[in-house]
Amino acid sequence: MTRSGKMVRARFITFEGIEGVGKSTHLKFVAGWLRAHGIKLLVTREPGGTELADEIRKLLLTPRKRIVTPMAELLLMFAARASHVEQVIRPALDSGRWVLCDRFTDASYAYQGGGRHIPARDIAALERMVTRGLKPDLTLLLVAPVHVGMTRVRQRGRRDRFELEQRAFFERVRRTYLQRAKREVRRMRIIGAEASMGTVRRQVLRVLEERVAKWL
């Protein structure tokens, strides 16, 4: 239900990009814009969003001396996602609440696929099992050069297991995100995140006006 009393279908919107591109800031802005239009929504993130998924998040983000195998990492991401989709995302959408999620399956293709070289068809097989056709209605892909993101991450202080990766890893992740965005132009909208906060916000607002306003 919007402010004008119209019934609207609950939508699923995700935010993607390499670390340090400002996803959470822009997610908050979109959440505020939707709330101002009378939309009830849930804000969540991956990996995480349920008690189990939050525990898996800790396992995945803790820096370790020994390598975590790419397949173990991928399966943990999807174990967290299974719990999140079944217990949080689907129930929210079914009850009419919109869902804004900081990262979703695109991140598995970008990080475990592009970053860790797992074939996309293996990720697609897990996606079919776990998300059962649940796809974001809209994905905002925030894009900045890798060195910009890495500088911002360094300024934040302590780094998690992914943030400790080398630049080449993030270049592969970024490239994979961009390739996906090229293939899915309707769903994925690229936002140039290197610009000033005001400029980035204007781009986000344009997407809201072009894509989201008509859903309200």
Contact residues: ligand TMP, CB under 6 A: 19, 45-47, 77, 102-103, 107-108, 111-112, 162
CB of 96 to ligand TMP, least distance (A): 25
The least CB distance from residue 58 to ligand TMP, in Å, is 11
User: Closest separation between CB of residue 112 and ligand TMP, Å?
Assistant: 6
| Cβ at position 50, least distance to ligand TMP in Å | 14
The residue (of 39 and 191) whose beta carbon lies closer to ligand TMP is 191
What are the angstrom distances between the C-alpha of 13 and each of 62, 95, 111, 169? 27, 16, 20, 26
CA-wise closest residue to 152 among 22, 39, 51, 40? 22
**Residue 26 structure tokens:** 């822009």
* Enclosing H/E stretch for 131: helix 120-131
> Considering beta carbons, is residue 13 or 107 the nearer one to ligand TMP?
107
DSSP output for 154-195? HHH-S--TTTTS-HHHHHHHHHHHHHHHHH-TTTEEEEE-SS
Structure tokens at 83: 């719990």
Residue closer to ligand TMP, measured from CB, 77 or 93: 77
Shortest distance, position 40 Cβ to ligand TMP, whole Å? 24
Nearer to ligand TMP, 3 or 156 (CB): 156
In whole angstroms, the minimum distance from the beta carbon of 182 to ligand TMP comes to 20
Alpha carbons 216 and 197: distance in angstroms, whole number: 26
Closest to 127 (Cα-Cα) out of 74, 51, 49, 53: 74
**Structure token digits, residue 10:** 């609950």
Q: Residue 21 or 92: which CB sits closer to ligand TMP?
A: 21
Q: State which residue, 24 or 95, has the beta carbon closest to ligand TMP.
A: 24
Residue 214 sits at φ, ψ, to 5 deg, of -75, -15
